[in-house]
Copies of this chain bind each other. A is one copy, B any other.
Amino acid sequence: MAGEAASALGLSMVVLAEHPDDAACAVASEVVIGTPRKLDDLRALAERCQVITFDHEQVNLDYVAQLSREGAIVRPGADALHMAVDKGHMRSVLVEAGLPVPAHVVIENGPASFDALRAFGAEHGWPMVVKTTQGGYDGKGVWQLGEASEAADLLEALAQAGPLLLEELVPLDAELAVMVARRPNGERVTWPAVETAQVGGVCREVLVPGRLDPSVTEAATALGGQVADLAGAVGVMAVELFWSKGQLLVNEVATRPHNSGHWTIEGAVTSQFENHLRAVLDLPLGLTVPQYPHVASVNVFGGPAGHPLESLLPRALAFDGAHVHLYGKETRPGRKLGHVTVCGAEAETVRARAWGAALALGSPHPPGLDLPDGVTT
């Protein structure tokens, strides 16, 4: 999707990809085969680019810092990336700035960790949440512990996973996400906060503006901007929030275009992808105003049947106003394959159409999420 935005602006995007058939390669002007986990591969990319940016955070921060020292322009830089790469660091930066986060503690996984975990549970209650501080995404690297007796196995399994984040299980009234685009000089624009629905830690739908009171949405939008400033983000940043007992808490951050912002492609004047490019290239940022009263964006996952998406596309495109985005990935059960966005005047109509098209593409109905009236699998 970043490649599509780059093409529109006449920019040449060079992609560092592990395989020439990776989806991003199809729209890249040029492909460098390699991995961000090797410094020499990153150097080969840097030689071809004016500016290096990211679409994931599986990044070695030492290499990023080294590239910068060697004269490459890397945006966001290592400091901002650190917020996204290391959840423990992210929490401590937010706490230091007085921003609201769930109760938590970071522990080294070692001989004392069982006691630390039991103490945290005694203070903040069970179940609790255990996260690896690095490497998790889309629900990976996150576990719920119902009681202390379950801890030993998990701690053993995570012996090599580095520091762990113990966190209170926040009773959720809703989840929100805010996308911010920020230039090197700190100038920034913010899309309005949206409501997200996660199942198993994976985003299933994004509703704009969602069902929360506008005052909550506005407070969330402002909080997102504060977090981006604090991180010194350059490019687009996603800030995921909990809404719990009348309070907003920062849950996760990502310093890149994010699933919560896919709705902006059709739903806002400027998409997150275009503003990400504009921000990292230090160009004026585009307007973030929504273009419709309501937007719904629903993720498409591979279903158990494994029908090829191609054969299902006609049914999905028959839904009025369904903007189908497929990521060029092979169908596999549970794999995120694309998303559908629908914009319009009525919240229920756009949500129903987006779900209708997503289910038509073979995406399963996630358990525990209410489908709109009239939508059936």
Please report A residues at the B interface, Cβ cutoff 8 Å: 1, 3-4, 7-10, 12, 26-29, 265, 269, 278, 283-284, 286-287, 291-292, 309, 313-314, 317-318, 320-321, 323-328, 338, 343
Contact = CB atoms under 8 A, between A and B. Distances in A.
Given A317-B278, A321-B287, A29 B26 contact: yes
Contacts of A324: 8-9
Contacts of A326: 8-10
Contact of A320 (B27, B28, B287, B317): B287
A47 B29 CA distance: 24
Given A283-B317, A313-B283, A8 B12 contact: no
In the complex, the count of this chain's copies comes to: 2
- Most B CB contacts (10 A, CB to CB) among A3, A27, A28, A325 go to A27
A4 B8 contact: yes
B26 A12 contact: yes
23 contacts: A1-B8, A7-B26, A8-B265, A8-B323, A9-B324, A9-B325, A9-B326, A10-B309, A10-B325, A10-B326, A12-B328, A26-B27, A26-B29, A27-B27, A269-B321, A278-B317, A283-B314, A283-B317, A284-B317, A284-B318, A286-B317, A287-B321, A291-B292
- Most B CB contacts (10 A, CB to CB) among A1, A8, A314, A321 go to A8
Nearest to A342: B269
Shortest beta-carbon contacts, A-B, top 5: A10-B326, A26-B29, A4-B4, A284-B318, A284-B317
